[in-house]
């Protein structure tokens, strides 16, 4: 049995649960209702509470995980953060637990193999899917939904209740105030669509035929010559499949913020 390696200066709450192979560094603090999965490492001075952390995660020094929401409506209700396996939180990352405000279920969820670079922030009730990367100093506001494989460039930010589709790429210093479609490449303040995330699509093994179809779909959907609803109807008439159908379904799903367009600050 690979017993936990806990530094004598670490502070561990009586309710904390630590699996085999866990390492906890000097002056780290595990507060109430913490569970650390097999092989997870917690650096010096890190702080974790009300969080379930999966296997083989790395929480670097001075990160704060599962801490209270930065929400004026928060009244101390129970909440937690759930993180999957093989995630990394670098120095001074803050990952807040969920609330019961604005329809939340009290849980901030983070998938597997997510990477949060130094000083990045995930607010209460965010839902962050597998393989998401937040570059340095990215900020996600409350209730943001991020789908699989999204990358946020440094110093970018997302407004409350925004949805980010799969394999989208958010350029550095971009202010995202409306939903970003799957596979989109966006940048600017405020964000606008500047193209398709071709690099991300190629990395996931997308065929040339699929790349051509998604480019054509973007040209039709986000052209200023066509209202979005009309463009969706035109695409649906072609009986699309695969990633084009996924794109259409995302655009038709309920949205609290509207859809990012090619025009700066314009919603669709």
Residue with tokens 């052209």: 223
Measure the N-to-C terminal CA separation of the chain; round to a whole number of Å: 57
| Active-site entry in 66, 79, 142, 200 | 142
| Active-site entry in 84, 125, 149, 165 | 125
How remote is the C-alpha of 214 from its chain's centroid?
Answer: 23
Q: Which two tokens stand for residue 215?
A: 């480019």
Query: Catalytic annotation on 142?
Result: yes
Given a contact cutoff of 8 angstroms between Cβ atoms, the answer to whether 190 and 265 are in contact is: yes
220-255 exposure pattern, b = at least 16 Cβ within 10 A, e = fewer: bbbeeeeebeebbeebeeeebeebbebbbebbeeeb
| Active-site entry in 124, 149, 165, 200 | 124
Non-local CB neighbours of 180 within 8 Å, separated by 6+ positions: 162, 163, 164, 165, 168, 170, 186, 191, 193, 260
The residues annotated as belonging to the active site are 124-125, 142
């Amino acid at each position: 049995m690979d017993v936990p390696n806990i530094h004598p200066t670490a502070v561990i709450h009586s309710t904390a649960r630590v699996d085999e192979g866990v390492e906890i560094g000097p002056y780290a603090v595990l507060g109430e209702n913490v569970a650390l999965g097999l092989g997870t490492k917690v650096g010096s001075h890190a702080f974790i509470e009300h969080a379930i952390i999966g296997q083989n995660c790395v929480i670097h020094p001075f990160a704060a995980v599962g801490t209270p929401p930065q929400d004026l409506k928060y009244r101390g209700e129970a909440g937690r953060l759930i993180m999957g396996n093989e995630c990394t939180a670098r120095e001074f990352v803050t990952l807040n637990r969920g609330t019961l405000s604005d329809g939340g279920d009290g849980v901030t969820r983070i998938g597997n193999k997510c990477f949060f670079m130094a000083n990045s922030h995930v607010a209460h009730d965010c839902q962050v899917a597998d393989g998401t990367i937040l570059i340095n100093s990215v900020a996600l506001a409350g209730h943001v939904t991020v789908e699989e494989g999204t990358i946020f460039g440094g110093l970018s930010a997302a407004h409350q209740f925004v949805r980010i589709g799969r394999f989208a790429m958010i350029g550095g210093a971009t202010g995202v105030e409306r939903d970003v479609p799957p596979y989109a490449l966006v940048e600017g303040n405020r964000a606008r669509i500047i193209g398709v995330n071709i690099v991300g699509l190629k990395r996931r093994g997308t065929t040339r035929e699929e790349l051509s179809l998604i480019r054509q779909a973007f040209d039709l959907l986000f052209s200023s010559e066509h209202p979005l609803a009309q463009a969706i109807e035109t695409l649906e008439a072609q009986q699309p499949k695969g990633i084009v159908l996924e794109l259409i379904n995302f655009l038709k799903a309920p949205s609290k913020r509207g859809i990012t367009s090619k025009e700066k600050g314009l919603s669709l």
